[in-house]
Structure 1
Amino acid sequence: MTERPAVDSLGYEDARDELVEVVRALEVGGLGLDDSVALWERGEALARRCDEQLAGARERIEEKLAHADDPDADDAGD
């Protein structure tokens, strides 16, 4: 298996794209048990990273929406 970047350094799109590759590789099969387990673990970490990235985006959007009707809150906390 080739060396991959650390999961926590990946942005959403890169993590998602790699996760798709991991799923395809696991579906095709043909890997030994150790390689399959390592790939599965990488996939789990990638899925968590995607969830974290989406949750962060959701929080930022909700914060902006919560302050959208408050003209005094423009750029508060930035």
Structure 2
Amino acid sequence: MAKSTPAPAETTPVADFEHSLDELEQLVARMEGGEMSLDDSLSAFERGIGLYRHCQQALDQAELRVRLLLDPEAPDQAAPFKPGEN
């Protein structure tokens, strides 16, 4: 009888965001080092744009969730969160 392989663990949206952000930061650090070829730099830039867009989309979704929690009846009219307010 063949062993079944366990299904890969699904990542949470927060963990996925943090992983993408970490990868983006590492990519930027490598690019800032100035040791990459032009072709590698272009590939890294393309990957970085994809990671940036993914992170921005995750932040937009998180903001929508917060707005829905603050005012489920009218999320578009919920006051934006300002750091330092209680």
1:66 equivalent to 2:33? Answer no
Higher helix share: 1
TM score, norm. by length of structure 2: 0.64
Give, as a single letter, the amino acid of the residue that structure 2 aligns with 1:62: R
CA displacement at 1:33 relative to structure 2:
0.9
Secondary structure at 1:11 match in 2: helix
Q: Match for 2:20 among 3, 15, 18?
A: 15
Give, as a single letter, the amino acid of the residue that structure 1 aligns with 2:50: A
Q: Which segments of structure 1 move beyond 4 Å, counting only runs of 4 or more?
A: none
Q: Match for 1:41 among 40, 46, 49?
A: 46
Ranges in structure 1 where 5+ consecutive residues have no aligned partner: 1-9, 69-78
How many matched pairs?
59
Over the aligned positions, Cα root-mean-square deviation in angstroms equals: 1.6
d(CA) in 2 for partners of 1:11, 1:32: 29
CA displacement at 1:23 relative to structure 2:
0.5
Ranges in structure 2 where 5+ consecutive residues have no aligned partner: 1-14, 74-86
Percent identity at matched positions?
A: 36
> Over alpha carbons, which structure has the higher Rg?
2
Considering Cα pairs closer than 8 Å and 6+ residues apart, tell me whether 1 or 2 has the greater RCO.
1
